[in-house]
Structure 1
Amino acid sequence: MKHVSILVPAGEAVVGSIEGPHKVLSQVNDFLAGAGQAPAFQIELVGLTRDKTFNQGLFTLHAHRTIAEDFRTDLIIIPAPHGDLAEAVALNAPFVPWIRQQHAAGAEVASLCLGAFILAATGLVDGRKCATHWLATQQFAAMYPAVQLVPEQVITDEQGLYSSGGAYSYLNLVLYLIEKYVSRDLAVCCAKVFQIDFGRRSQSPFVIFQGQKDHADAPIKKTQEFIEQHFADKLTVDDLAAVSCLSRRNFERRFKKATSNTVAEYIQRVKIEAAKMSLESSQENVNEVMYSVGYSDTKAFRTLFKRLTGVSPLAYRERYSRKAPALAA
């Protein structure tokens, strides 16, 4: 039986990312009990203190143990903090040496959504792949440059160090761990009971490109705004360097530093974001959408769209179109 320690973070947290894994793992034990088998998991909440309130006192969680107690665990689950992430990492710093100690003794560690910030603070994923919510990727990359951020992935498994993508995609990681520790049959059963999309491995379709303007380089920000206003035009690096009043070489260097994208990558992402919005809200066919955002090569457009979103333009429309018919009463 594996001992699972679900952390109760200091500060604010997404309570669902504490209760959710507890519920799903407990369901596994219930299934096994119904089959006359021993439980697979001993599940405990572990905090810095015994009691912790969240959401201005709306929820109170009672930890089974605190990290001050002497015990060993097999799996540590780090739920998602809420609010200022740098502050959350600082508030949860007391967990860091405990996590490192448990890992050195053989425990595996899984972060859920923004819990990746606390996992990264341990240094255990330096040089390794890690996922987190796509909304926080820029801040994560700035805070933890030694970590190999993979913003498109829903699940990472780095030899017993796990992470998940944004929000409720943590349930996909929980199912992955159930399959790994118990059986695929039970993981599939849980997926059906909790109605989780078991096969999803990418969060790219959910990403909203927001322009990466959280920097202080005014000429680059001006150029970004120009790109977003003229994305359908044929834009060259020389033209954009002129907009920024910088030499081409200096412009390209500063653009990459400020946005974490090359100029070409940024233009592509702006065009594809515009195409996504059109596919969601208009009745234009895929070729019309392609032309409207400045592409004329059908194969190139569809390839780029799928690379950035994880699905084809047509599949994206079918999934997210606002014109989809309402369910029958």
Structure 2
Amino acid sequence: MQSAVLGLIDVFQFANRIIAQYPQAGLPTFAISRWRTDGPLVESGNAATVPPVKLVPLLDVLIIPPSIGGTYYEAPHWVLVDWLKAQHARGTIVCSACAGSFVLAATGLLDGRRATTHWDLSSQFAQRFPNIHLNTDHILINDGDVVTAGGLMSWMDLGLELVEQFTCPTVMIELGKFLIIDTGRREQRYYKKFVPPFGHGNAVVLKAQHYIQQHFHTDLTVKMLAEHSHLGERTLLRKFISVTGLKPSEYVQNIRIQKARELLETTNLPIEKVALVVGYEDAGAFRKIFKRLTGLSPREFRVRFSV
């Protein structure tokens, strides 16, 4: 995604301009280089083949940009993977944005650690890298020597994070003002849409899912779903969790909250009425569940996203 590559260069160059306004602070400035893979080579954007890793100048940070098309991120070249691991072993902080997390995950550096990626890639990521603690509620997870960001535009959040980390909060805030970017903390779950998995091929679970889709606003129980699916409760529960990754009660909550999000975005219904329409008689309970799943209260969500 070239806009991310060039945009990050702009972010760091503008940061340098702000740093220059505080000479007494003794803050470091950013020197930027671009790298690419070309078959078996890892090359600089401005030079020929890179020499062996030990001869490459030590990089403080490496950023793997998002991918807007193609499938390279699904199977990155082993030369790139080994090169990233070697740079990390020398002390380089390795970062990724959006689908770039797949490349970073392929190095094994995220195993057993927290990470994020684009919410729409979460199922694919979780299946391929089960040893990574994926959390797509967050736009950015800084785990010290590895940093992951989710979303196509999360490179902006990543850039601001690195500016603050290597300089100071004042420079980051001034940079946000100059670029007219909101430097307040955001979360990916503000934007995340719940998309139920229907293409798994399990007819029994699919039957339960279709029933939930039609009756989500009613008082559903595992017993009711099991009877509808002609299975025992334990069997249905086991199959449902295996296929969807959620308990039926959690699945129903996600369906209800997704419907509530749509109503808050497109209608002027009072929040109490929205709660009733999606199946919550207690508006207070609805507010708590909505905040837990989206990170915002229903009112905050409507102010931010209403059409």
CA 1:185 to 1:38, structure 2 compared with 1: closer, same or farther past 3 Å? closer
Which residue is 1:45 aligned to? 34
Equivalenced residues, count = 298
Structure 2 residue corresponding to 1:225, chosen from 169, 192, 210: 210
SS in 2 for 1:25: helix
Matched, 1:30 2:17: yes
Greater displacement, 36-45 / 156-165: 36-45
Q: Which residue of structure 2 aligns with residue 150 of structure 1? A: 135
Aligned residues: CA RMSD: 2.0
Correspondence for 1:264 among 222, 246, 249: 249
Task: Give the letter aligned to residue 6 of structure 2.
Answer: E
SS of the aligned residue for 2:147 comes to strand
SS of the aligned residue for 1:235 comes to coil
The equivalent position to 2:65 in structure 1, one of 70, 76, 79, is 79
Q: How does 1:135-174 map to 2 (within 5 A)?
A: 135-174=120-159
Matches within 5 A, 1:155-194: 155-194=140-179
Cα deviations across residues 112-164 of structure 1 (Å, max 9, x unaligned)? 11111111111101111101111111111111110000110111111221011
Output the CA distance in 2 between the equivalents of 1:121 and 1:67: 23
The change in CA–CA distance for 1:138 and 1:67 in structure 2 (over 3 A counts) is farther
The answer to whether the 8 Å contact 2:73/2:99 transfers is no
- Given that 1:49 and 1:66 are in contact with CA atoms closer than 8 Å, whether structure 2 keeps it comes out as no
Q: 1:214 to 1:198 in 2, by over 3 A?
A: farther
Q: What amino acid is aligned across from residue 12 of structure 2 in structure 1?
A: L
| Identical pairs, percent | 34
State which of 116, 119, 130 in structure 2 corresponds to 1:134. 119
Q: How much does 1:84 deviate?
A: 5.2
Residues 256-288 of structure 1: CA deviation (Å, up to 9, x unaligned): 111111111000000001111111112210000
Q: Residue 11 of structure 1 corresponds to which residue in structure 2?
A: none
Q: Which residue of 1 aligns with 2:82?
A: 97
CA distance, structure 1, for counterparts of residue 177 and residue 199 of structure 2: 41
Aligned to 1:317: 302
The C-alpha deviation readout for 1:78-106, integer Å capped at 9, x for no partner, is: 00123454x43324432111111011111
Distance verdict in 2 for CA 1:65–1:201, change over 3 Å: farther
Contact 2:28 2:166 in 1 (8 A): no
Cα distance, 1:250 vs. partner? 1.4
Q: What residue ranges of structure 1 are gaps of 5+ in the alignment?
A: 1-13, 51-60, 323-329
1:290-305 equivalences under 5 Å are 290-305=275-290
CA distance in 2, matches of 1:23, 1:239: 57
Closer, same or farther: CA 23–223 of 1 in aligned 2, 3 Å: same
Kept in 2, the 8 Å contact 1:204–1:310? The answer is yes
TM-score w.r.t. length of structure 2? 0.91
**C-alpha spacing 1:243/1:99, structure 2 compared with 1 (3 Å):** same
SS at match of 2:62: strand
Q: Deviations over 1:42-101 (max 9, x none)?
A: 100011249xxxxxxxxxx9813567423031111000123454x433244321111110
Further displaced range: 164-173 or 271-280: 164-173
Q: How far off is 1:39 after superposition? A: 5.8
Gaps of 5+ in 2: none
